[in-house]
Chain A
Amino acid sequence: MSLLDVNQLSVKYESFTALKDVNFSVERNEFLAILGENGSGKTTLIKAILGLKDPHSGIITWEKDIRLGYLPQHLNVQDRSFPATVKEVVLTGALAYQKGFKRPTPEMVQKMTQILEDLSIAHLTCQRIGTLSGGQQQRVLLARTLMSDPDILIMDEPTSALDPSMRKTFYDLLKDLNAKGMTIIVITHDVGSASDVIQRIIYLDQTIKFDGTFGEYCENEAISPYIHTHQSHHHGSAQ
């Protein structure tokens, strides 16, 4: 059995069909990118596989006892006055899965320090998260996700708030995590920065239009203009 099986998935928002008859499987240790134009159903697909949006029809099956890590596109809390420090937010990643009486342990704090150092935000540990820039907040959310040791990391446009140099560092980190056995699903427009780490691409437009390797995707005449458009857009905006 695969890590994730999606069979005949359809999702509707009232009468609007966001996804129709989507079928795919994800194996352990894959690095999968989901591409598509705005409104193609990418975020809906992520919500459905995370259990945040009920399908209209179809079945989503996860391998038993799987631990999910989710990195949203941006902070769900938009209130900058929310009183929470980076440390408090990051620790919830580990505490969510702690059994019984939940309390931070010295091991958790040590692990948090290491992750924050890896993401170059250790100096922000005691700062309130609302005072940080978008890119810093995104790294805090990634740190929170990594604290839970997820089997699979699911990310929605994770690099949208990062500057070009940080994008490279970010994808290098994901490459390391993938090499250590973590399965990764990423919704991205940033195919350029991720081209050396993405193993498989699904191109979505309400239903799956393409499912194959990065190389096959580039050679696909029907869809490949999309990658060139977005790569040039990315490089343009990076300057």
Chain B
Amino acid sequence: MNLLDSFLNLFTYGFMVRALIAGLLIGLSGAFLGSFLVLKRFAMIGQGLAHVAFGSVAVGLLFSDQPLFIAMPIVVLVSVFILKLSEKTSVHGDAAIGLAATVAMALGTLLASIDGGFQTELNSYLFGSILTIQTTDIWLSFVLFIAVALFGVFYYYDLFSMTYDPIFAEVSQVKVQRLNLVLAILTGVTVVIGIQLLGTILISSFIIFPTVIAMQFQKGFFATVMVALGFAVSTVFVGISASFIYDLPTGSTIVLLNALIFSLIYVFNVFKGGRA
């Protein structure tokens, strides 16, 4: 079977098609939100929330075989909590993320040791599994994508203003706190839906990598967001396809593909003299 046949064969498997659709929708959502989070120096929120999701899934598994529906409100609440903690107190954003993440991981591990019955299922959320993606997850991803798209279309300029200069935005009566709240909620939802695909360990790459790659092109903000979205689509598509064709773990393939692209562009820029 040649490469093209292997690639086309992908579309005959329902779980692969579901993984592609969900992956593209979550990848686009993560990349768009990531454009603001990375530049607000909140890039690690994805990683922190993924750890929180791990603990929340453990709590969810105690009560249900659909743990994500229990994990989602918990992660969203923690996301808002992290934001408020860094806004209102002397605790820095990265410290707030570290606190929430370690407490949640400790909770998840503790619950798994007390009730050993769901240890295996909980571990599947560490690295993700495209086999577990159901039609319901595609609908959830679609609703998330629409919510992020509407947020972006209606509030792009306010989001840019508060990301670039939050003090100016506040003085100019941009609703900075409200926008931050929506950003935190959407990020929490993206992380929870995305952990089935990439797992808690790798999901933050959906938020961080596209923007970091796009920034290497040294363009304006809008161009950077567009390039990030483009890379999100292509790396998810190529990563999932390659993982199917060569029988590789999907999450790792997507992350390493991103890392390879970033490294190539970075090295090219260094040799071109565009970076010290």
Contacts and interface: CB of A to CB of B under 8 A. Distances in A.
A97 interface: yes
Contacts of B161: 92, 95-96
Interface stretch (A31-39, A76-84, A114-122, A184-192): A76-84
Given A77-B165, A83-B218, A128-B220, A92 B157 contact: yes
Contact of B168 (A51, A76, A88): A76
Interface string A128-172: 100000000000000010001000000000000000000000000
Contact of A77 (B154, B164, B222): B164
Interface stretch (B18-26, B45-53, B65-73, B169-177): B169-177
Contacts of B166: 76
Contact of A97 (B156, B160, B168, B172): B172
B221 interface: yes
B167 interface: yes
A82 B164 contact: yes
A209 interface: no
Contacts of B154: 101-102
Contacts of A144: 168
A186 to B, nearest CB: 16
Contacts of B169: 92, 96
Contact of A50 (B164, B171, B219): B171
A223 interface: no
A96 B165 contact: no
B149 interface: no
B224 interface: yes
A68 B171 contact: yes
B171 A52 contact: yes
Contacts of A76: 165-168
A138 B168 CA distance: 14
Interface string A195-233: 000000000000000000000000000000000000000
A8 interface: no
Nearest to B171: A70
B137 interface: no
Instruction: Report whether over half of chain B's contact residues are helix, strand or loop; otherwise say mixed.
Output: helix
A89 B172 CA distance: 13
Interface in A46-85: 50-52, 68, 70, 72, 75-77, 79, 81-85
Contacts of A41: none
Contact of A102 (B39, B157, B171, B222): B157
Contacts of B94: none
B191 to A, nearest CB: 24
A82 to B, nearest CB: 6
Interface string B146-161: 0000000011111011
A79 B38 CA distance: 12
B223 interface: yes
B43 interface: no
Best-surrounded residue of A75, A81, A126 (most CB of chain B within 10 A): A81
Best-surrounded residue of B166, B169, B172 (most CB of chain A within 10 A): B172
Contact of B221 (A68, A85, A126, A148): A85
A65 to B, nearest CB: 11
Contacts of A82: 39, 164
Nearest to B170: A52
Interface of A: 50-52, 68, 70, 72, 75-77, 79, 81-85, 87-89, 91-93, 95-97, 101-103, 126, 128, 144, 148
28 contacts: A50-B171, A52-B171, A70-B167, A70-B168, A70-B171, A72-B167, A76-B165, A76-B167, A76-B168, A79-B39, A81-B215, A83-B215, A83-B219, A83-B221, A83-B223, A84-B220, A88-B160, A88-B221, A91-B157, A92-B157, A92-B161, A92-B168, A92-B172, A93-B172, A95-B161, A96-B169, A96-B172, A148-B172
Closest 5 CB pairs of A and B: A96-B172, A85-B220, A83-B224, A92-B161, A95-B157
Interface of B: 39, 154-158, 160-161, 164-174, 214-215, 218-224
Given A82-B164, A89-B164, A102-B158, 6 more contacts: A51-B171, A83-B215, A88-B222, A93-B172, A102-B154, A144-B168
